[in-house]
Structure 1
Amino acid sequence: MSEQMRIMRSKELPKERRDRIVARHRSGQGYKRIFAALKVPKSTVASIILKWKKFGTTRTLPRPGRPAKLSNRGRRALVREVKKNPKITVAELQRCSREMGESSTKSTITAALHQSGLYGRVARRKPLLSARHMKACIEFAKKHMKDSQTMRKKILWSDETKIELFGFNSKWYVWRKPGTAHHLPNTIPTVKHGGGSIMLWGCFSAAGTGRLVAIEGKMNAAKYRDILEENLFQSAQDLRLGRRFTFQQDNDPKHTAKITKEWLRNNSVTILDWPSQSPDLNPIEHLWRDLKMAVHQRSSSNLTELERICKEEWQRIPNPGVKNLLHHSKKTHGCTSSKGCFYSILSKGSEYL
């Protein structure tokens, strides 16, 4: 048997060649002549012609395979249950399946939901929003989507965060062998209550990061006003924002206290109106996460050293990465950053509420 004939036996013929076999048969050629001309085994020629006579096609027909454990009707019913209540458990879906007369295993139910494009994922946590909060957020999005590039570059974003000495809450993956989970190189050291922490105030603009300040003692309105007095205009000057910049802060009671408002008014600081219950809108949250990841790559043995490392890593955050958090493309309503920029989030508005 020739090499070509051996290959023909080992794989399915292309549809174009099957069509040629049928065409030659319809023109009156016998199996031997078709076999000789196309170099296809006679048994293959016969089966293709028989299939064409029986089904009227040379296409590959669906193979029966193992019958599905869950009917299409049962799968559609489960999908409806999930859409009504995304938090429903597989055990509850299993009970629903039994009530419909189709007893299915958890793996069968999971596979059926995957077929419909539904996958189990950890639910995102977000602030509880009232109708008033939602309306304010949508109005905020509509208003600021029209901001010019010049206006966007003039915003100085700010916030506070806490960094623990030994308490970075994130998953770390290690390559290890079975039974070595508790070996020292495969673990992340922790201490009770994080081993102490520091509070930081920071700011940034499209031009880069501004000042980062450690907050000593308990933060109150008077201390916040002092931080602004010592760092706000200096940060604006370092970032070349000029005097006519817009300052962003959230609605924390310290930020909206009477003495804070009075200081901002006396110093002619323009404030960006910020909707309540919307911390996830602030792009500085991405910088806080980057900072914490960078800081906890380095080992600090005390809070003084932790503060020094925080300030060093804050200065190392690259300007292009900061700019991407505020970049907006009219064409894509998105940004080049995988994190999602502020204006791309605004463009989706109600989807995030």
Structure 2
Amino acid sequence: MAKARNLTQETRLKIKILSQEGYSCRQIARKCRCSPSAAGYTLQKYRRTNSLEDKPRSGRPRVSPARNDRILIRMCRQNRRMTSQELQQQWSNQTGVQCSNRTVRGRLLDHGLRSYKAIKKPLINERQRLAQRYWAQAHKNWTARNWKKILWSDESSFQLYLHPTNVRVRRRPGQALSPACTVPTVKHGGGSIMVWGCMSAAGVGHLTVCDGTLNSAKYCTILETHMLPSVRALFCRGKNWMFQQDNAPCHTSKASRTWLQEHCIQVLKWPAQSPDMSPIENLGWIIKRSVSKRKPKNLEELKAVIQEEWDKITPQQRGRLVGSMPARIRALLHVNGRTTKY
């Protein structure tokens, strides 16, 4: 049953009309689907004030007018990284408004400005932004069929122990150093390995561990012993295909470019600082999440787990990642060459 304070204006008007027609409060309550007391209170209020409107309710007045609120919102949009305390101090100095940090957060929430953890993305300068835009324009007419002809490649680093971030615990005062309330850390992540792998829409290629620093000589060896066999396994003989790699120094060195030219391998031109355009980057994150759940105890076990998770990649995952390329291109054009959600 609705209470008197929750009755709409139409319901209150209906109660008044039914009362004038001679209905009792109980009968009015059944017809208006409210409690008899709500109907009686509404009629008493009408006889006393000759109005069905609510009186203005009392309450603490706002400490800032709408004009000063707009100044606060403008300050926040000019510098998104300012804390509520910094905003409160600057707002007070500029407008004279005296309020708490909680009031500032409330004003921001009223305008949809909630605090979120910033997403980490590669730094892109103006030259790189223009290059990404031109690259997207050159490939905007490519269909999923065109992207299926690409052999995607990338290197990825895996740490034995990942340090979790933003871990929160529930404890009492004085229990901060309790083992159950701390996050153990290991120097350099307990060791790490770098792997090189390749994939296409047809399947995953070879995965190999890169020992030490990856230079041009080691990279050419990887291309010879792992990339070429992957091409023969994933693409039919005589079928046109292209090789994708990022702009790491060992990829763009003179020795690497010479090796690719001697083997007549067509390389897809790739813009700098654009990992969000490569689907194999997303595949790397999928494997990292799976590896972290298995918690390998040493580097040898880490290598075995990475290979097992690599072999578990399903055709649906590969197809979804490669098939997302037209959408990635559209997203890159939409943001004019800047960072996308991918």
Q: 1:241: Cα distance to partner? A: 5.9
Partner residue of 1:151?
146
Choose the corresponding residue for 2:68, options 63, 74, 81. Answer: 74
Q: How many residues align structurally?
A: 328
Of 318-327 and 35-44, the range deviating more from structure 2: 35-44
The answer (yes or no) to whether the contact 2:198–2:204 under 8 Å persists in 1 is: yes
Partner residue of 1:255?
251
Choose the corresponding residue for 1:44, options 42, 46, 51. Answer: 42
Choose the corresponding residue for 2:191, options 184, 196, 202. Answer: 196
Q: 1:182: Cα distance to partner? A: 6.0
Q: 1:169: Cα distance to partner? A: 4.2
Alignment of 1:1-353 (within 5 A): 7=1, 12-24=6-18, 29=21, 33=23, 35=25, 37-39=27-29, 40-41=36-37, 42-48=40-46, 53-54=50-51, 63-99=57-93, 100-166=95-161, 168-171=162-165, 178=172, 189-240=184-235, 243-328=239-324, 333=327, 342-343=328-329, 345-346=331-332, 348-350=334-336, 352-353=338-339
SS at match of 2:204: strand
Q: 1:294: Cα distance to partner? A: 1.7
Query: 1: CA distance between counterparts of 2:170 and 2:318?
Result: 35
Query: 1: CA distance between counterparts of 2:47 and 2:147?
Result: 70
The answer (yes or no) to whether the contact 1:291–1:314 under 8 Å persists in 2 is: yes
The answer (yes or no) to whether the contact 1:326–1:343 under 8 Å persists in 2 is: no
The answer (yes or no) to whether the contact 1:97–1:104 under 8 Å persists in 2 is: no
Query: 2: CA distance between counterparts of 1:180 and 1:345?
Result: 48
SS at match of 1:68: coil
SS at match of 1:112: helix
Query: 2: CA distance between counterparts of 1:86 and 1:13?
Result: 42
Q: 1:275: Cα distance to partner? A: 0.8
Query: 1: CA distance between counterparts of 2:137 and 2:58?
Result: 54
Identity of matched residues, %: 34
Q: Which amino acid aligns with 1:43?
A: Y
Partner residue of 1:336?
none
| Residues 68-106 of structure 1: per-residue CA shift (max 9 Å, x gap) | 233322211110111122223323312222221111111
- CA change 1:173–1:182 in 2 (3 A) is same
The answer (yes or no) to whether the contact 2:243–2:267 under 8 Å persists in 1 is: yes
Partner residue of 1:339?
none
Q: 1:189: Cα distance to partner? A: 4.7
Q: 1:116: Cα distance to partner? A: 0.8
Task: Give the aligned CA root-mean-square deviation in angstroms.
Answer: 3.1
Q: 1:140: Cα distance to partner? A: 1.4
Query: 2: CA distance between counterparts of 1:70 and 1:19?
Result: 36
Where does structure 2 lack aligned partners over 5 or more consecutive residues? 30-35
Query: 2: CA distance between counterparts of 1:109 and 1:141?
Result: 41
TM-score (norm 1): 0.80
The answer (yes or no) to whether the contact 2:277–2:325 under 8 Å persists in 1 is: no
The answer (yes or no) to whether the contact 1:18–1:48 under 8 Å persists in 2 is: no
- CA change 1:96–1:185 in 2 (3 A) is closer
Partner residue of 1:3?
none
Q: 1:344: Cα distance to partner? A: 5.7
Q: 1:118: Cα distance to partner? A: 0.9
SS at match of 1:159: strand
The answer (yes or no) to whether the contact 2:12–2:42 under 8 Å persists in 1 is: no
Query: 1: CA distance between counterparts of 2:118 and 2:112?
Result: 17
SS at match of 1:270: coil
Q: 1:148: Cα distance to partner? A: 1.6
The answer (yes or no) to whether the contact 1:163–1:198 under 8 Å persists in 2 is: yes
Q: 1:214: Cα distance to partner? A: 0.2
Select the structure with the greater relative contact order (CA < 8 A; seq sep ≥ 6): 2
| Residues 134-165 of structure 1: per-residue CA shift (max 9 Å, x gap) | 11111112222311221111111111121122
